[in-house]
Amino acid sequence: MATKSTLQKRVVTISLENCSGCNLNCRYCFAAQKHRQPQKMSYESAVKAIDFFLDYYRKQSPPPQEYCVDFTGTGEPLLNFELIERLAEYVIARKNDKIFLHFTTNGTLLTPGLIARIKKLNKRRRRLIRFSLTFDGFPLLNDINRRDRSGRGSGDRVLRLIGELKEQKAFSLIDNANSTFTYDDPLLTYRLKGLYLLGFRRIIVKPYRGSDRRFKLTADRLKKVKKEYRALTDFILKKIIKENDYGYFFSLFNPGDYLGKFLLRTYAGAEQTRRCPAGLDYFYVDAGGDIFLCPSFSRLPETSLGNVVKGIKNPPPAAQAGFLAKCEKCAAKKLCGGQCYYETVRSRSTEPARLLCELKKFLIKEAAYFWGRLYQEKSLAISYINRQIKKNYSFCFE
């Protein structure tokens, strides 16, 4: 297997809340409260944020190879597409080919006209703007949770968008399709199949992470989720071993997918020193210019690290943020990375979330099971995966 050093590159992400409003009313949205009082980030604040962090990282070693300005926070970024467009012009004028722009959209506002404007900007600077699509799968599944404020599902509109992107030969602008599952109804393999058959080749399927009691992880739901993850693993293994089809595997083999990140970490032997890159290679700036570790922390104004005008007044937490006392003796620590730091601060608990810990330990075992099965039943598959990764893949580890 490959070593961490052959796969890793340093990519810094600055997430800007260009708009806190949203045109959908998804049942599992963690930022629903912010949508009631929407704000838009000004061009001046956005430029200050970019310049501030370019200067902040210029003093660090090793220097980042890329900077991603990501308009993914608490709202729908296309409600303020003008800001994205103006910042694209700003990046082009600076002639900085290390800065890339990215946004995550629900897809319902992405018109043929907007697609044409994005393509035009990308002709002026290759791969300047890319985006991710939040979509739970076929409309029947997507519309369970992803509805607009009148209660109408968003699935059919997103399907039309996908067709429009393919017609305009712009489907390659999509970085990934991002599906959120709730513990009461995971449908993991169904989600993967649906998104893959629609043409997506980088897929993220991850669990709901909010505090709504309707979607709470319980012992009974955990059993169901484990069963579905085993079915998903077996489905991917069958595709590789019996059908020589690696497509589903590579679509999930990324740091964003909840199973995929453990497949990647066990493959690369990537020891985790923290839960996520927040405060190290990731910061979030809200519409007013305040700096936070991530969008979740913006719900706790007292956790602000500072402002893009006045600078960082409260230093980010140490690299071990996320590890609690119980984590230190856990056998899964090096592959897990600890508990979400926001959840620790919000809950004020010194104990990790027991059921979530159990799920992550299970997925680490699933990853070991996956690689073990491949070695036993189709060892040539490992060689093929190695060649493909060396040829086509570069990963930013969490």
For residue range 17-64, what is the model confidence (pLDDT) as tens digits?
999 889 999 988 876 666 667 789 999 999 999 999 999 998 888 889
The region of weakest confidence among 83-92, 102-111, 319-328 is: 319-328
Tell me the residue range of the domain where 256 lies. 9-320+367-392
For position 321, what pLDDT does the model report? 65
* Residue 261 is assigned to a structural domain of this protein: yes
Q: Which of 1-5, 7-11, 42-46, 389-393 shows the lowest per-residue confidence on average (mean pLDDT)?
A: 1-5
Report the percentage of the chain scoring pLDDT > 90. 68
Whole-number pLDDT of residue 317? 80
Q: Is 354 part of a structural domain of the chain?
A: no
The whole-angstrom separation of Cα 67 and Cα 101 is: 8
Do the Cβ atoms of 53 and 12 come closer than 8 Å?
yes
Tell me whether residue 332 is in a domain.
no
pTM higher than 0.85: yes
Dist. CA 338–CA 320, nearest whole Å: 9
Q: H-helix or E-strand containing 68?
A: strand 66-71
Residue 393: its pLDDT value, please? 57
In a domain, residue 346? The reply is no
Q: Supply the CATH number for residue 207's domain.
A: 3.20.20.70
Q: Which of 281, 287, 279 is nearest to 307 (CA)?
A: 287
Total structural domains within the chain:
1
Asked if residue 362 is part of any domain, the answer here is no
Residue 287 lies in a domain: yes
Domain assignment present for 348 = no
Q: How far apart are the two ends of the chain, measured CA to CA in Å?
A: 19
Going by the DSSP 8-state scheme, the letter that residue 329 receives in this structure is: G
Is the confidence at residue 13, as pLDDT, over 60?
A: yes
Instruction: Check: CB of residue 192 under 8 Å from CB of residue 252.
Output: yes
Residue 182 lies in a domain: yes
The C-alpha atoms of residue 233 and residue 248 are separated, in whole angstroms, by: 10
Of 301, 300, 395, the residue nearest 348 (C-alpha) = 300
Number of helices and strands (H, E) in the chain?
A: 15, 10
What average pLDDT does the chain have?
90
pLDDT tens-digit series, residues 147-184:
998 999 999 999 999 999 999 999 999 999 999 999 99
